[in-house]
A and B are shown apart, each in its own frame.
Chain A
Amino acid sequence: NAGVTQTPKFRVLKTGQSMTLLCAQDMNHEYMYWYRQDPGMGLRLIHYSVGEGTTAKGEVPDGYNVSRLKKQNFLLGLESAAPSQTSVYFCASRRRRQETQYFGPGTRLLVL
């Protein structure tokens, strides 16, 4: 039982490049989330999903897209990376009837 995993762990992009971050969970959780963490700002919700095939916007969705084609996977895409998207990205998941979110180990992204 790996819990929540994220791929890759670290990535460097040039401005304008695109990439996809993968979040996978093996706990059969219905809800999945993408956050970004910046110094002094806590965790801010980018997008979330309440089930396979559904997604919704969070606090800071601009510049990101997501997809939840399979229940266990939640993908975060950056179509044209900008330096402002340099951050640590955390994925999380939870059961529908439980409040506790379980976080992945994070992906550190640097956009030059």
Chain B
Amino acid sequence: GENVEQHPSTLSVQEGDSAVIKCTYSDSASNYFPWYKQELGKRPQLIIDIRSNVGEKKDQRIAVTLNKTAKHFSLHITETQPEDSAVYFCAASLWGTSYDKVIFGPGTSLSVIP
């Protein structure tokens, strides 16, 4: 079945450094790739997403890149701050069809050390 792998599972960075989280997906038909941030005890919240017809998208300190050929996509956070500490989930889906399933990665726990 469809699968999304995510690495690393845990990541510690110093405040101000960059953080990179990488995901790979198995279903080459996937066309929508959201990233969610989940703070401890809270609900997942969308932070950025990318469609398969775009190679890169940026929103302030957050960027996502997509390599369709390699079936890889990555989240980049620059100038990290302590409030960036959370669990981050990538996901892949085949949006716009009757096959409406989003497959999530297992998550990356990011710690930003002040």
Could you list which residues of chain A lie within 8 angstroms of chain B, going by C-beta atoms? 31, 33, 40-45, 48, 50, 56, 58-59, 90, 99-101, 103-106
Contacts and interface: CB of A to CB of B under 8 A. Distances in A.
A11 B100 CA distance: 29
A42 B43 contact: no
A43 B89 contact: yes
A21 B74 CA distance: 35
Contact of B49 (A44, A50, A90, A99): A99
B100 A42 contact: no
Contacts of A99: 32, 34, 49, 93, 95
Contact of A101 (B6, B9, B102, B103): B102
Interface string B27-46: 00000101000000011111
A45 B98 CA distance: 15
B105 A90 contact: no
Contact of B43 (A45, A50, A90, A100): A90
A106 B44 CA distance: 10
Choose among A42, A59, A99, A100 the residue with the greatest number of B CB atoms under 10 Å from its CB.
A42
Interface of B: 1, 4, 6, 9, 32, 34, 42-46, 49, 89, 91, 93, 95, 98, 100-107
Contact of B34 (A33, A44, A59, A100): A100
A99 B30 CA distance: 13
Nearest to A56: B100
Contact of A43 (B42, B44, B49, B98): B44
8 contacts: A42-B4, A42-B104, A43-B91, A45-B102, A48-B101, A100-B34, A103-B44, A105-B43
Nearest to A106: B43
B49 A100 contact: yes
Contact of A45 (B34, B101, B105): B101
A80 B34 CA distance: 34
A101 B93 CA distance: 12
B101 A100 contact: no
B45 to A, nearest CB: 7
Most chain A Cβ neighbours within 10 Å, of B93, B98, B107 = B107
